[in-house]
Amino acid sequence: MLVKRAVLLVLLPMAVTAAAWDTNDWQFLESIERANLRFFEEQKRGPYDLLNDTAAYDSTFNYPAYASVAGIGFELTAICLGHYRGWVTFSNAYEQALLQLKLFNGMLSTNPLVGERVNGWTWHTYWIEDSGTNKAGTRYFMPDGLSLLDHSLFMAGCIFVSEYFKGTEAGLLAHKLYAETTWSWRPNSDYNFGYSENLLAVVESAEAPAYKKGGDAKTMWNSYVVPWPRDLQLYFWQYPHAWIDFRDRTDERGFNHADVARDSILHQRQRAIELHNDDPVKYDMLGSNVWGWTAAGASDGYRQMAPWLIVGSNNVEWCSDSGSITPIGLPGCVVYAPSEAMAAMKHIFEQYYINGWDPSVGERPVWSHVYGWLNCLNEGRPWRYYSDAGVSNHYHGISAGIDYGPNVLLIENYKRGSTWRWFMQNPYIATGMYTIGFGPPFSVHHATFTNSVNQFGGTLGHWENDATPVTATYVDADWTNAYVGDKVVRFVADNSDEGGWIDLGNRDQRAKAQLTFWVRGGTGLEQVDVGLKDFFDREKKVALLDYTGGVTPTNWTEVKIPIERFCLTGNVTNDIWPGNLRLLSFAFTNPEGGTLDVDYVAFTRDTRAPVRPTNHFGAAMFGNRARLAWDAEAAEPDVVGWHVWRRFDGVSGFDRQTDPLVPRHVGTWQDTNLFVATDREVRYAIQALDNAEPVNSSPFAFEQILTGGKLDLDWNNGVNPNTLGGRYDGHWGPDSGRWFGFVYTNGPGGALQWVRRSLVSTPGFGHFIDTADGDISDYSALRFFIRGAAGGEEIMVGLKDDADAEVTFDVGYFVPGGTIGTGWSEVVIPLNEFAGVDVTALSIISWTHATSGEVYIADIAFPQGQRFALATNAAFRECEDYDMQSGSGGQDLKAGASEGEVLGQSWGAPPGSVAVYSNVVTVSHTNAWFHLWYAMNAAQHTGCVVELSVDGTPRALLACPGTAGWGERVSHFDRVAARIGPLSAGSHTIVLSADAGVPVNMDCFHVGGEAPDSEGLDSDGDGLSDRCETVWGTLPAVEDTDGDGIADGAEVGFGNMGQLSDPTRADTDFDGPSDYEEWIAGTDPLSFESVFALQSFGQDDADGAFMLGWRAVSGRLYRLFHTGMWSNGAMVAEIPDPENIVIEGDAARYRTGVRTNARTYRLDVRRGP
């Protein structure tokens, strides 16, 4: 019984449907590809979203315990192709690939068995879920263990991702997995599986980034038996051909492997015909349109489906000749045998789907709109191998990722060569093909028209729309370069809908990225459509002006048109097929026609740079951190990411700040490596990059200029939402005679920028800016620039909170002269003037026109209060970016402050808390300062001391008084600074340590050459603020609390006196001399063992001369005194021969010139000039 078409439809997300065969072939292929791709989108589970190895074709889970790396290799490629086709968003495709790549790079777990590899080789299978065993992501034991075949499929996916997401974190991680595979670790015998998917491993290993096989790979390739076997299951050739483009090139022995694969396909079809003819009872279903065998679920279990004998190890028969077929293997055959494969799929679809099935006798549909074809099918009497016994109607609905994957990849290759395009552009693969003996492709991809010859093999032609003939001829070039010369093609027409064409010779241009040609018009007034027509007489045209800047050039200009403009238009039935191109046409669309010269037509790799990313690129300052935002979705389809560049003035060059790329879908970026001091200028630009080889990069976006120390309300990109999250601008009053929004005009600095224009014709009404109940309490004022269209406009500005409390001010009170002029004026209103408004929940900023008129408002911002300046050339580091730490139990988010993390408020509480920061690079400083930002709730702790060491030497004791909170707000943070002395240019290791048992929440630090703007109140002028003195326990009204001769502030900063000591004890180390005396002597006031004394005293037995020694310190002057023999101890004189004092490094010695009687010596020291 025929099932009504209205009931049974092949449903597709793209509104493409299939019914009894009136369905377009291209639509049907589209439905298969989309259904098979859906498997890779949906069949994921477990903590690492690992791909189910198998699933039922109607989407029901069969919950396999493991994921196969072979399936993941197909997943990585298919999900990228899904994005290319527009079925999967970039973010979904990228994040799905990134997660898998992180897993196998050991980045998702501290357990080394999760994603484990051995010499770079992955295990065949991995556990998907923990199920209480903590096994997810670890090896699932299969007998083949480190399977070369499965790893090579995984590597193919990695190589594809490394190109498709080139330069991003995902791309780099994928390349790393390829580079770390020790191909040479496996002997040649491991690769010798004959003509099979093993071909992939040979090509991948030949010129791999590391551990390549080189000549051994060529030896392997040439060892395979010739002639190539025809009795191949489909997957044997489908797996390698899914990625490797074997068309139009031969190996060293002259074989074209696309032909080998096609021969294998046609052999299967012929075998089905022969079997049916020989035994129509046993093989009743088989025939010219029912064939296809690959590995599948046969009626006698999972087998190599084949109507020929396959014998495995121990003479076990691996094949199944049950009369069944495997529809799941047919779609990929279209790449080399399109007419035969399509005829078979049409027949099977009509016979076993549209014509219905009878569930009462166990029949199942051969097609599911979810994942596509049934795995294995026998409608009739299935025959077990070597047996006449069997059960009726065998259906197997479970398919694997390695079944669905080849279909997606090969259908894409058939239609556009998309998989080949990105895989074969990998330089290691491209080189590897030559290494194993393949010559260059011999297909024709360009025509120079030299000597009036069309190298594509065809002629020139034309068509007319009136009685005047159009001419299409070769003419001599009157201008030459590397591409234009000798003869060029000239089209001349005098009417619209006339033009000419260049015969493309039915050439295959799949896997090419663009159509290019050189062109010029006769007058520049010509308007021309460029068209491609394929073998099926489908033609797609695009406007030439879209690729020449809107004007037909009169000078020779190269035109580059992405091939997707012709073959990926969103309507599969109208897309042209680049696999067989007939004509390139040029049609005049302007009424008067004109002249068009064309030369050097080519189909090439992608050389077209992305356009300048002016798509609402904006930047804003968030206090002292810069953030950037741009419209990522507006980028061209092949853009994969962004680089951010920074400089500090309009003259110096930009420095790149991003590596790897910011992924395409991430439209924001924060400069976490730079603290921008108040009023310091910084400039940013972004650049779009694509996934070509080599990469094409756009020109820089027009730079954005920021200054530190404020919160900018707008991104300066002309769109909402603003930085507080407000999504719209609004108005009150009549709809007519008013306008409020962004305009691009000259701003306060004279340069073009986005400003707001507010026009009101009825006094008393106005506009408002949504601020989304934002918190601006950490800032001190409202600031903006304003100018009038005519001058004299009166306008009120107001702030309103979420409880509708509002305060407004006449802007005129805050502008010079009290009147708004036609030039820009700066307005600054302290927030404390808006008394009664809750600035932690700001609802709107309002603009009320007291008179009708028009004003422009620019650079709305909220400045900070007094901030501590960041020194020029300062080395900055976030405290959470440590290289090693102990003491912190976790990191505390402070999103309300600076969108980063702090080291953690638990740090400092455990004894011995330490944080190590390596590679802190500074310029040379003669007297450096160290600045630390921190938070510590004063309600719980009065303060603590943090010790600072630089390159192993103590440099400062930082007194950190309690602050307003733990860091939930910027206002909770405070800064402590200390002078740490000279620093050489280069890399330093900074260690912060605390042992007082008091927690401190450290945010960031910087090292620079400038003192802070303010140290806070210092009543006694000792260099230690009164707040810090409370931490130390020193006296805020006494300069030298311990009376040792050193001011309190000088004792805690190494840079003051070159030493550290306790400001509350005159003798910090209890060794006798005061801290001041130790400073004079150059000894360490923190060490009891470091004393100033004569360390050696002796007499030479030979001549009786005395010898004295002591430790010397640079910058000190030493004097030696002595007494007479048996004196009362009074020093009678300085030694007569001070020139005999010898200082070498840190050792000093003195030797008396002659024998002397017993004497007493005294050593004095003072600091040098």
CATH classification of the domain holding 969: 2.60.120.260
Average per-residue pLDDT in the chain?
Answer: 86
pLDDT given for residue 999 in this prediction = 86
498-520 mean pLDDT: 97
Do residues 927 and 849 share a domain?
no
| pLDDT tens, residue by residue, 672-685 | 888 888 888 999 99
Model confidence at 933: pLDDT above 80: yes
- The answer to the question of residue 423 being in a domain is no
Find the range with the poorest average confidence among 253-257, 302-306, 916-920: 302-306
Domain boundary residue, one of 225, 256, 287 = 256
Model confidence at 7: pLDDT above 60: no
d(CA 111, CA 861): 48
pLDDT given for residue 1 in this prediction = 26
**Residue predicted with more confidence, 394 or 734:** 734
Environment class of 1148 (CB within 10 Å of its CB; exposed 0-12, middle 13-18, buried 19+): buried
pLDDT given for residue 564 in this prediction = 96
Question: At 21, which helix (H) or strand (E)?
Answer: none
**Cα angle: 782, vertex 785, 791; to 5 degrees:** 130
pLDDT given for residue 57 in this prediction = 85
The helix/strand/coil state of 403 is: helix
702 CB-near residues (< 8 Å, 6+ apart): 612, 614, 617, 685
Question: At 146, which helix (H) or strand (E)?
Answer: none
| pLDDT tens, residue by residue, 1038-1055 | 888 888 888 887 887 665
219-242 mean pLDDT: 87
Do residues 241 and 321 share a domain?
no
Residue 1030: CB atoms within 10 A of its CB come to: 15
Find the range with the poorest average confidence among 396-400, 563-567, 820-824, 888-892: 888-892
The CATH number linked to 167 is: 1.50.10.140
The CATH number linked to 563 is: 2.60.120.430
Model confidence at 86: pLDDT above 80: yes
Q: Band of the pLDDT at 1100, cuts 50, 70, 90?
A: confident
The helix/strand/coil state of 633 is: helix
98 CB-near residues (< 8 Å, 6+ apart): 169, 170, 173
Model confidence at 896: pLDDT above 50: no
Model confidence at 741: pLDDT above 60: yes
d(CA 974, CA 965): 10
Find the range with the poorest average confidence among 155-169, 317-331, 570-584, 630-644: 317-331
- The answer to the question of residue 1014 being in a domain is yes
Model confidence at 360: pLDDT above 80: no
Q: Band of the pLDDT at 822, cuts 50, 70, 90?
A: very high
Find the range with the poorest average confidence among 77-91, 171-185, 304-318, 919-933: 304-318
Model confidence at 316: pLDDT above 70: no
The angle that helices 215-223 and 427-435 make with each other, rounded to 10 degrees, is 60
The pLDDT > 70 percentage for the chain reads 89
| pLDDT tens, residue by residue, 790-805 | 999 999 999 999 999 9
Model confidence at 1132: pLDDT above 50: yes
906-926 mean pLDDT: 85
Q: Tell me which amino acid residue 913 is.
A: S
Find the range with the poorest average confidence among 399-403, 760-764, 1026-1030: 1026-1030
Domain that holds residue 643: 618-708
Do residues 213 and 108 share a domain?
yes
pLDDT given for residue 3 in this prediction = 28
- The answer to the question of residue 413 being in a domain is no
- The answer to the question of residue 870 being in a domain is no
Do residues 210 and 108 share a domain?
yes
Do residues 760 and 679 share a domain?
no
988-1013 mean pLDDT: 83
d(CA 168, CA 640): 8
- The answer to the question of residue 15 being in a domain is no
User: In b/e form, how buried is each residue of 127-163, taking b as 16+ CB within 10 angstroms?
Assistant: bbbeeeeebbbbbbeeeeebbbbbbbbbbbbbbbbbb
User: In b/e form, how buried is each residue of 377-414, taking b as 16+ CB within 10 angstroms?
Assistant: bbbbbbbbbeeeebeebbbbbbbbbbbbbbbbbbbbbb
d(CA 947, CA 961): 14
pLDDT given for residue 197 in this prediction = 81
Do residues 888 and 857 share a domain?
no
Do residues 555 and 663 share a domain?
no
d(CA 707, CA 394): 73
- The answer to the question of residue 421 being in a domain is no
Do residues 251 and 266 share a domain?
no
pLDDT given for residue 897 in this prediction = 32
Model confidence at 167: pLDDT above 60: yes
Domain boundary residue, one of 256, 287, 309 = 256
Model confidence at 61: pLDDT above 80: no
pLDDT given for residue 361 in this prediction = 64
pLDDT given for residue 420 in this prediction = 98
Do residues 252 and 300 share a domain?
no
- Cα separations in angstroms, 61 against 100, 114, 131: 21, 24, 17
pLDDT given for residue 527 in this prediction = 97
User: Cα 398 vs. chain centroid, distance in angstroms?
Assistant: 36
d(CA 744, CA 718): 8
The helix/strand/coil state of 641 is: strand
Find the range with the poorest average confidence among 156-160, 343-347, 1104-1108: 1104-1108
| pLDDT tens, residue by residue, 552-565 | 999 999 999 999 99
- The answer to the question of residue 473 being in a domain is yes
371-398 mean pLDDT: 66
- The answer to the question of residue 494 being in a domain is yes
Domain boundary residue, one of 863, 898, 925 = 863
Model confidence at 2: pLDDT above 60: no
pLDDT given for residue 900 in this prediction = 40
Contact at 8 Å (CB) between 807 and 799?
yes
Q: What is the pTM of this model?
A: 0.76
Q: Looking at the 3D structure of the chain, how many domains does it have? A: 7
Which is nearest to 659 in space by CA: 646, 674, 642?
642
pLDDT given for residue 183 in this prediction = 94
**Residue predicted with more confidence, 38 or 320:** 38
**Residue predicted with more confidence, 179 or 889:** 179
Find the range with the poorest average confidence among 71-85, 826-840, 865-879: 865-879
The CATH number linked to 667 is: 2.60.40.10
What is the residue-wise DSSP string for 86-125? Answer: TSS-HHHHHHHHHHHHHHHTT-S-S-TTTT-EETTEEPSE
The pLDDT > 90 percentage for the chain reads 55
d(CA 646, CA 655): 5
pLDDT given for residue 884 in this prediction = 82
1112-1140 mean pLDDT: 73
Model confidence at 636: pLDDT above 80: yes
**Dihedral sign for Cα atoms in the order 549, 554, 556, 560:** positive
Find the range with the poorest average confidence among 231-235, 322-326, 1056-1060, 1120-1124: 1056-1060
Model confidence at 1156: pLDDT above 70: no
Max mean pLDDT range (21-30, 181-190, 209-218): 209-218
User: Cα 1058 vs. chain centroid, distance in angstroms?
Assistant: 46
1005-1021 mean pLDDT: 72
Contact at 8 Å (CB) between 626 and 710?
no
Model confidence at 977: pLDDT above 90: no
Do residues 184 and 63 share a domain?
yes
pLDDT given for residue 894 in this prediction = 37
Do residues 900 and 1048 share a domain?
yes
Do residues 111 and 167 share a domain?
yes
**Dihedral sign for Cα atoms in the order 229, 230, 236, 240:** positive
